[in-house]
């Protein structure tokens, strides 16, 4: 650490992580300035030593008995195991040894034990789920009966609230294994095999004898990382380990008052990236006592629909504005094209694999390697696009909550949503959603402002009217009769007659359900997230939104005079009467002529595209348009809904403000 965090009243400590890049280093022994390539080489030598020890240690204890002992939290003498993984492994006597003839200090061994302990601890939950699925194997793996569902949930610890998609995924994994092997797997260790070990350095397991980090006193945006690195791939003595100073430029997201921790170093494409962990004080989020809440509904083209509700002292719930939408149809269309391209590349790679038969000297082995590289490139593009979309959607959601002064964000829980039975195209689009990433980003950003994020059951949120809980009738929007679908919802109750976009009705239902059920909010033990498990009928009856009274003017607006004549065509741009001549001085009226047109609009500013179109590539590379806004955010629209207000109805359109 580089300091001590002080908390005030109503604050709590929050640990986050930011990415940084190690661009250079200085060897303290020789004073040599290390370039980025040399620094990556020396970090890679140390990472290879650690990865080798981790692989041996994980392979030796990759079984049910050893993982069960580590997950139990007690050693053979009944004493409680330490929380640090490397300390727990040493208590159990699981040691890691370097290769023969290589000399490493004890802190390098700690990093190997810490990484191995984390991998072994993470498999414990998967082992419990897989054991429960195999112990209650159904008669038909494709479809369980209600009794079989109850049986399998009872056999899994915490299975009562486990999403059904997790159980079905483990079932399909076991079915695939049975098709290949002709039998069911014994446990998850036979089903998955020993995991692949990543090249990383967990400096958090070290002390000041291996690595230190200090923040600059003059510039809070800079820090200095000192660590011992080998000067050769097989260090023979301790003299082959030297101290290296690495200056780090901290991202702007790291507060100046945050306490820095030792980072985790990763090697990515020949560069050293540091996951900078830091702890800072944030307002404490509460689970109950909310009066203003933001409800968020998921969609396809309209990725997010959100709006705020207020819970009054009398128990009445009213809407604060009409809500807003985050549309990302263009980004999702690009993601769909990349997915199809990836599928074609995988089909080609499989075909070349069959032709070559695994022979690296085959004349088609070169083409097979090129396709594998292209698959990795496309996968990286898809991952980057998902990350950018997740951060943009999360930032928009948290900004809506801040603008409405909401203390809680209610999200519908769609973890059990399965993409099936709705057509090939729609099933694919549903399976490509990045809901999990968006939810994690929302929790990360909302914690900075003390806003709680709670998931609520999604049952009947789009089916019932938000004002009277009557089942809605879905149809085409009245102002868009040619647009297919059932986006518009109308309440058949004659005393209510609410109508609007079905997504806007859904976020009202989600927020109202969360406000009335906030006393039922619990914290999940496995994830630490706030959730509302189930819906109570008595509380759900009160989860109705009171319609706001539209104030009308009492002034008599009867027509008493003729209508003013309007010209049949707009006024021309050029003046009809000549303007005065230009004066000799600077003062005076504008001279005759057109308005100055020397200012040229950027490439992205005069584009007329709908939300379902993608920009067409131009000839050559022109980064000017991307720099002016013609890139990602051209197709991610955080604008009010497209539905216009229909006269004489209680429609819901407009923006949150």
Residue pLDDT, tens place only, 460-479: 888 899 999 999 888 887 77
In a domain, 151, yes or no: no
User: What number is the average pLDDT over the span 525-544?
Assistant: 88
Same-domain check for residues 471 and 526: yes
Amino acid 265: pLDDT: 95
pLDDT of residue 296: 93
pLDDT tier for residue 423 given thresholds of 50, 70 and 90: low
Instruction: Determine the pLDDT at residue 113.
Output: 95
Q: What is the DSSP string of 526-542?
A: TT--EEE----HHHHTT
Domain shared by 504 and 420, yes or no: yes
User: pLDDT-based confidence at 50, cuts 50/70/90?
Assistant: very high
Residue at 230 is within a domain: yes
464 and 443 co-located in one domain: yes
3-state secondary structure 318-340: EEEEEEEEEECHHHHHHHHHHHH
Q: Give yes or no: residues 412 and 308 share one domain.
A: yes
Task: Inform me whether the pLDDT recorded for 424 exceeds 60.
Answer: no
609 pLDDT exceeds 60? no
CA–CA separation, 296 vs 323, rounded Å?
10
Radius of gyration of the chain from its Cα atoms, rounded to whole angstroms: 31
Least confident of 67-76, 214-223, 346-355, 595-604: 595-604
Q: Is the same domain home to 274 and 305?
A: no
Q: Are residues 510 and 462 in the same domain?
A: yes
- Mean pLDDT across the chain: 83
Q: Distance between CA atoms of 300 and 611, rounded to whole angstroms?
A: 12
Looking at residue 40, what is its pLDDT? 95
- What pLDDT is recorded for position 396? 94
Of 540, 571, 593, the one marking the end of a domain is 540
Residue 296 and residue 214 in one domain: no
CA distance 91 to 85: 10
pLDDT of residue 250 exceeding 70: yes
Q: How many domains does the chain have?
A: 2
Domain CATH code at residue 417: 3.30.420.140
The whole-number pLDDT of residue 432 equals 52
Pair (448, 530) in one structural domain: yes
Provide mean pLDDT across the span 359-373. 89
Bridge partner list, 320 = 308
Token pair listed for 568: 């049949």
Q: Which residue, among 131, 145, 144, has the nearest Cα to 174 in the 3D structure?
A: 131
Q: Lowest-pLDDT range, 102-116, 336-350, 441-455, 485-499? A: 485-499
For 158-192, give one letter per residue: b (16+ CB within 10 A) or e. Answer: ebeebeeebbbebbebbeebeeeeeeebeebbebb
**Helix or strand run (H / E) with residue 521:** strand 521-523
**pLDDT of 212:** 94
**Domain, as residue range, for 433:** 292-326+395-540
pLDDT (mean) for 233-262: 92
Report residue 28 as tokens: 């303290």
Is residue 132 a part of any domain in this protein?
A: no
CB-based contact 246:224 (threshold 8 Å): yes
The verdict on 302 and 222 lying in the same domain is: no
Average pLDDT value for residue range 196-225: 92
Helices (H) and strands (E) in the chain, counts: 14, 20
Q: Are residues 307 and 442 in the same domain?
A: yes
Considering the domain boundaries, does residue 246 fall inside one? yes
pLDDT at 570: 65
Classify residue 552: in a domain, yes or no.
Answer: no
Average pLDDT over every residue of 186-208: 91
pLDDT at 502: 87
d(CA 285, CA 568) in angstroms, rounded, equals: 60
Instruction: Please answer whether residues 611 and 638 qualify as being in contact, where contact means their C-beta atoms are separated by less than 8 angstroms.
Output: no
Query: Does residue 113 belong to any structural domain of this protein?
Result: no
Residues 273 and 316 in one domain: no
Residue 322 lies in a domain: yes
CB 331 within 8 A of CB 391: no
User: pLDDT-based confidence at 623, cuts 50/70/90?
Assistant: very low
Phi and psi at residue 320, in whole multiples of 5°? -105, 85
Average pLDDT over residues 132-152: 91
For range 14-28, the mean pLDDT: 92
Among 505, 540, 575, which residue terminates a domain?
A: 540
Q: Which of 522, 540, 558 is the last residue of a domain?
A: 540
* pLDDT in the model for residue 202: 94
Is 152 part of any domain?
no
Both 269 and 298 in one domain: the answer is no
Q: Which residues, at least 6 apart from 270, have a Cβ–Cβ distance to it below 8 Å?
A: 37, 40
pLDDT at 137 exceeding the cut of 90: yes
Most confident of 54-68, 521-535, 570-584: 54-68
The pLDDT score that the predictor gives to residue 643 is 42
Percentage of residues in the chain having pLDDT higher than 70: 81
How do the residues of the chain divide into helix, strand and coil, expressed in percent and rounded to 5?
Answer: 35, 20, 45
């Amino acid at each position: 650490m580089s300091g001590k965090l002080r908390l005030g009243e109503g604050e709590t400590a929050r640990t986050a992580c930011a990415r940084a890049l190690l661009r250079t280093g200085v060897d303290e022994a020789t004073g040599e300035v290390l370039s980025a390539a040399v620094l990556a080489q020396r970090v890679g030598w140390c990472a290879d030593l650690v990865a080798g020890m981790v692989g041996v240690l994980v392979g030796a204890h990759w079984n049910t008995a050893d993982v069960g002992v580590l997950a139990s939290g007690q050693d053979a003498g009944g004493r409680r195991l330490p929380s640090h993984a490397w300390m727990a492994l040493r208590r159990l006597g699981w040691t890691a040894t370097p290769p023969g003839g290589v000399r490493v200090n004890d802190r390098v061994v700690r990093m190997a034990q810490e990484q191995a302990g984390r991998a072994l601890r993470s498999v414990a939950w998967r082992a419990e789920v897989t054991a429960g699925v195999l112990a209650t194997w159904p008669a038909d793996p494709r479809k369980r009966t209600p009794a079989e569902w109850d049986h399998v949930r009872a056999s899994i610890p915490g299975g009562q609230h486990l999403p059904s998609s997790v159980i079905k995924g483990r079932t399909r994994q076991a079915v695939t294994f049975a098709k290949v092997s002709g039998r069911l797997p014994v446990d998850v260790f036979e089903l998955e095999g020993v995991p692949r070990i990543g090249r990383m350095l967990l400096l958090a397991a070290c002390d000041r004898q291996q690595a230190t980090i200090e923040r600059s006193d003059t510039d809070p945006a800079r820090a200095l990382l000192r660590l011992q690195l080998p000067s050769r791939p097989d260090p023979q003595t301790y003299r082959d380990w030297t101290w290296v100073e690495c200056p780090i430029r901290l991202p702007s997201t790291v507060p100046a008052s945050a306490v820095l921790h030792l980072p985790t170093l990763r090697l990515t494409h020949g560069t050293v990236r540091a996951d900078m962990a830091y702890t800072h004080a944030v307002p404490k989020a509460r689970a109950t006592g909310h009066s203003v809440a933001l409800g968020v509904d998921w969609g396809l083209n309209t990725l997010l629909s959100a709006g705020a509700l207020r819970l009054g002292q009398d128990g009445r719930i009213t809407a604060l504005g009409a809500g807003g939408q985050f549309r990302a149809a263009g980004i999702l269309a690009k993601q769909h094209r990349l997915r199809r391209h990836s599928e074609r590349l995988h089909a080609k790679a499989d075909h070349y694999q069959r032709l070559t038969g695994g022979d690296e000297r085959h004349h088609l082995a070169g083409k097979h390697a090129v396709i594998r590289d292209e698959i990795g490139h496309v996968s990286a593009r898809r991952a980057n696009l998902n990350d950018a979309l997740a951060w943009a959607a999360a930032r928009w959601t948290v900004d809506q909550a801040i603008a409405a002064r909401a203390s809680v964000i209610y999200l519908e829980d769609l973890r059990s949503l399965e993409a099936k039975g709705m057509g090939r195209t729609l099933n694919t689009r549903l399976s490509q959603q990045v809901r999990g990433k968006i939810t994690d980003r929302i929790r990360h950003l909302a914690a900075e402002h003390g806003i709680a994020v709670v998931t609520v059951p999604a049952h009947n949120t789009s089916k019932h009217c938000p004002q009277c809980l009557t089942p809605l009738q879905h149809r085409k929007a009245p102002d868009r009769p040619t647009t297919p679908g059932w986006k518009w919802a109308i309440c058949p109750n004659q005393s209510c007659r609410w109508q609007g976009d079905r997504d806007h009705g859904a976020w009202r239902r989600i927020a109202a359900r969360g406000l009335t059920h906030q006393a039922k909010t619990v914290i999940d033990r496995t994830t630490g997230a706030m959730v509302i498990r189930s819906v109570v009928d008595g509380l759900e009856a009160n989860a109705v939104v009171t319609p706001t009274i539209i104030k009308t003017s009492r002034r008599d607006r009867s027509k008493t005079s003729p209508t003013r004549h309007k010209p049949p065509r707009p006024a021309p741009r050029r003046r009809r009467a000549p303007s005065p001549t230009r004066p000799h001085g600077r003062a005076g009226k504008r001279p005759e002529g057109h308005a100055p047109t020397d200012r040229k609009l950027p490439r992205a500013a005069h584009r007329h595209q709908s939300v379902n179109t993608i920009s067409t590539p131009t000839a050559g590379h022109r980064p000017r348009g991307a720099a002016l806004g013609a890139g990602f955010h051209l197709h991610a629209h955080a604008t009010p809904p497209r539905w216009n207000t229909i006269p004489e109805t209680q429609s819901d359109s407009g923006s949150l403000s």
